Structure 1
Amino acid sequence: MMRDMPEAAETFASDPLPSPDTEDAMWALSQRTDGRLIYGVPGETAVLSIDCDISAIPTLRITRNSPADEGAGALLAMVGNGHIGRIKVDATEVGNDSFWVGESPALNEVWEPLAGPRELTLTVPGAGMVSIGPSPMPGLMIEACRAGELLDGAALLEAQEGEDDGADLDASPVS
């Protein structure tokens, strides 16, 4: 007599999320984590962050603050400044939530779309497209990280001249 095995429950990805409204978004230095840049609309949760780890090989980490299904993986695509960069991102637990996080050595050309001063787009499948306005700030961070240094607040303040003060930008949930 042969027993029927119960059918495994089908798993599906969550429904795709709409692209965030980033019309008034800006880059700001995180008030909670040294050397981290955050991008978003002041007074709202940041939609994106980048930080540098110089403890070994200088490495940049990017976090797309958008819900990610447990165990999921994807390619984050950045297009702009004459470059296309793709980086593997995985669903990573941050507190009680899971967000898209990826990292790569700072010298990797994947970061070039962020290094230029013009606007770019960033996309994670199912997490919408983030339109990122022109700013020298991510380029300064990449340059500092490649040199094995954390972003200098004085250099950042100089780059912020002409831009609004990002002090009201809420760095949570990933600050």
Structure 2
Amino acid sequence: MRRAPALLPILVLAACKPPAADDYVERTRIGGEVQGPSEAIDSPDTQGAVWAPADKARRLLYGKPGERPLFAIECVGQGAVPMLAYTRFAKADPHAKAVLALIGNSHVTRLPIDAIQINDIWRWEGAAPVTDPRWDVLTGTREVEATVPGAGSVILNPSALPGALVEECRALAQPPSDDEPNPAPSAPEGPA
């Protein structure tokens, strides 16, 4: 008998909400056609793909010679926090956001990547500070798998070039060492 008074508040609250109705979906339907993400693309064949310096300094392109690139990295800026920018040359849905997963060289790295509009095309781009230890994934001698959901996986064949670019870019972030000579102090001004 003691249970009945304890259940009374629950019964009162349940009575305040109307029961589900068949037309509930009709009341909440959104007008217009709803579009989902585009069809996922297949992972490209990377047999014979290589890293190569681009026309722009401190930028590497990855792909098969004579074909459009599949991936790129670039050291952007210098001083306090240079960034390593990355591009996955694959169609992206407008304003989409994702995570670029880089797996290889005993590392697993996840970096944010966004759809960026270049003229009429949307593609995947992102950037992160080069001092971030996650970039160690590119400094080894093994292949790396780069995956963007919906844009397939790109196998980045082994090369010393990405690691060299990461290290060169990190060197730009380094403050001058104590071993570097300081400029000679200027002579005091005054009568001689």
Alignment check: 8 A CA contact 1:85 1:109 kept: no
SS in structure 2 at match of 1:148 = helix
Indicate the residue corresponding to 2:96 in structure 1. Answer: 72
SS in structure 1 at match of 2:135 = helix
User: Structure 2: how far apart are the matches of 1:87 and 1:99?
Assistant: 16
Q: Which whole-Å deviations, capped at 9, do the CAs of 1:117-168 have from their partners, x for residues lacking one?
A: 111101000000001111110000000001118xxxxxxxxxxxxxxxxxxx
User: Structure 1: how far apart are the matches of 2:118 and 2:135?
Assistant: 23
Q: Which structure exhibits the higher relative contact order, with contacts defined as CA atoms closer than 8 Å and separated by 6 or more residues?
A: 1
Q: Of residues 46, 53, 69 in structure 1, which corresponds to 2:69?
A: 46
SS in structure 1 at match of 2:40 = coil
Please give the residue correspondences for 1:74-89 in structure 2 after superposition, counting only pairs within 5 Å: 74-89=98-113
Alignment check: 8 A CA contact 1:121 1:130 kept: yes
Question: Which structure's CA Rg is the greater one?
Answer: 2
Please give the residue correspondences for 1:51-66 in structure 2 after superposition, counting only pairs within 5 Å: 51-56=74-79, 57-66=81-90
Indicate the residue corresponding to 1:118 in structure 2. Answer: 142
Please give the residue correspondences for 1:83-162 in structure 2 after superposition, counting only pairs within 5 Å: 83-148=107-172
TM-score, L = length of structure 2? 0.72
Q: Which runs of structure 1 show a deviation greater than 3 angstroms over 4 or more consecutive aligned residues?
A: 3-6
TM-score, L = length of structure 1? 0.78
- One-letter code of the match for 1:44? E
User: Structure 1: how far apart are the matches of 2:117 and 2:125?
Assistant: 9
Report the alpha carbon displacement of residue 4 of structure 1 after superposing the two structures with TM. 9.2
SS in structure 1 at match of 2:172 = coil
SS in structure 2 at match of 1:142 = helix
SS in structure 2 at match of 1:13 = coil
User: Structure 2: how far apart are the matches of 1:115 and 1:8?
Assistant: 49
Report the alpha carbon displacement of residue 54 of structure 1 after superposing the two structures with TM. 2.1
Q: How many residues are aligned here?
A: 146
RMSD, aligned CA = 1.8
Runs of at least 5 residues in structure 2 that lack an aligned partner in the other structure: 1-26, 174-192
Alignment check: 8 A CA contact 1:84 1:112 kept: no
Runs of at least 5 residues in structure 1 that lack an aligned partner in the other structure: 150-175
Identity %: 39
Indicate the residue corresponding to 2:16 in structure 1. Answer: none
Report the alpha carbon displacement of residue 110 of structure 1 after superposing the two structures with TM. 2.1
User: Structure 1: how far apart are the matches of 2:131 and 2:156?
Assistant: 22
